[in-house]
A and B are shown apart, each in its own frame.
Chain A
């Protein structure tokens, strides 16, 4: 009886110690040094800051245009390195260029190391680009690509106006469906070390209309959802739309 009591006390004390152990007390066997980071995204048109609702920019085709809306997803952000293991974030982020909070993204801690480049998708890979695959936030619902048109999500909604004498016309550059996924390449060395990192990316909208295909709203389309050829041109140009400051 006495020994049974002692055993119970021992077990309870052991339970107390184990049960109350805090997460931070648990040290991994092999800790990999890393640092919390943020992606900060800004927008420009050939170095001029993007100001919404104002027709003041010109693309290579000579269209004078302004922007009223820019929403998109970025996903599969990957930091590439020749000295350490590539670091990939398997997350999808909704961005509204007009909403500052969505342009400051806290990302998983990045392992220390020297990275050579970053790749990321504008859009959602085919595995996840399916109707209702994302959590039903109001943003995701509004980005839905109708099932009758193939399903999934808009990858990007870029809207605005352009001069079309004697007045202005609207444009709606909507990308979606797997063939218009843009894989952006940012070729700039990046050192991640002990200091908290803020990785500043800048999107130059004119890159979407420049190379390798000069895109003209009048000739190539100002309203392109469902126009696969026009979407493909924008997607091809989008590879260089981001740069790192």
Chain B
């Protein structure tokens, strides 16, 4: 009887497809569940780097450890939690909700997944010396457990960092609570929200609700000529149609991520709004969305409307995120 049952089970067992390679796994690993709000895009996690509690812990350790550089730098030096993992100096982009992004750095030098941008950071930006990691008393056992790696490679380091950075998710701002019917917006915040989502303020086309970016590049008219870092995505493509175009930054926690723009030219949110209101330069690559009716290039907002817009932007500040103990230095 037992033999028959075994035969049945064996006969019906799913065959492994040709070319299907089992995932590299160490000892028992604990799956890590990352919360994704219903108004976010679908979360994409590559099959060869599933989120695990142990992998995230390893990435977190590396994020704060200068061992990954040769000049005493760690990721956290330029990505500080109190600034939503950005930093005023050197005006670094925030690390938040990158799990849902596929374009990275202001000029879009790297496109793909977090593993790709982390490979760039490890191999190029930090030029990580894995010998130090392999010789450390701590890391070999951790990498062995997470990746079943006998020798730590830069790919393993990038994958671990990608796991941790995937967990740097900001989903509990006042605006999120408003969407969940847990709070209300003040009249000024509500006016700003409406402005944001109408043609008058017209923020929503690029800073789409949810992530508050659109994973795309735009020239928003901050320059009339382009040189140096102001060339934007052109630096990557060499295509003159990309001059002055930059990746749309998220507006989540924007209150904490001053100064603004790729070169930090605007100190305050008020300065930023005033740019859109009256400072747009019309160049050949200016995004068409800035051409308003009657050949106007500014938003023509009143002082009250500008105040309201800034009030709304501040509802995107997520104090839970910047105080999340799971993201602090271990």
Contact = CB atoms under 8 A, between A and B. Distances in A.
A133 to B, nearest CB: 12
Interface residue SS majority, chain A: mixed
B288 interface: yes
B208 A142 contact: yes
Interface SS of chain B: helix, strand, loop or mixed? loop
Contacts of B210: 136, 141
Contact of B42 (A68, A136, A144): A136
Interface in B36-50: 38-42
Contacts of B286: 170
B254 to A, nearest CB: 18
Interface stretch (B80-88, B111-119, B169-177, B192-200): B192-200
B12 A20 contact: yes
A16 B194 contact: no
A48 interface: no
Interface string B174-215: 000000000000000000001001110000100011110011
B150 interface: no
Contacts of B288: 68-69, 159-161, 170-172
Nearest to A226: B199
A195 interface: no
B292 interface: yes
A172 to B, nearest CB: 5
A228 B290 CA distance: 20
A78 B70 CA distance: 62
Interface stretch (B2-10, B18-26, B140-148, B303-311): B2-10
B30 to A, nearest CB: 27
Contacts of B4: 9, 12-13
Nearest to A140: B41
Contacts, number: 95
Interface in A154-195: 159-161, 164, 167-172
Interface residues of B, number: 38
A15 B197 CA distance: 59
Given A5-B1, A172-B288, A222-B293, A15 B8 contact: yes
A146 interface: yes
A168 B284 CA distance: 8
Contact of B282 (A8, A141, A167, A222): A167
Contacts of A135: 42
A141 B102 CA distance: 15
Contacts of B199: 149, 223, 225-226
A11 B170 CA distance: 55
A88 B41 CA distance: 29
A226 B198 contact: yes
A24 interface: no
B33 interface: no
Contact of B295 (A144, A146, A148, A164): A164
A144 B38 CA distance: 14
Given A160-B288, A170-B290, A136 B38 contact: yes
A150 to B, nearest CB: 11
B289 interface: yes
Given A12-B4, A141-B209, A170-B291, A136 B39 contact: yes
B289 A138 contact: no
A132 interface: yes
B80 to A, nearest CB: 28
B197 A148 contact: yes
Nearest to A13: B4
Given A136-B40, A221-B293, 6 more contacts: A19-B12, A136-B41, A141-B209, A146-B204, A149-B199, A159-B288
Interface of A: 5, 8-9, 12-13, 15-16, 19-20, 52-53, 68-69, 132, 135-138, 140-142, 144, 146-149, 159-161, 164, 167-172, 221-223, 225-226
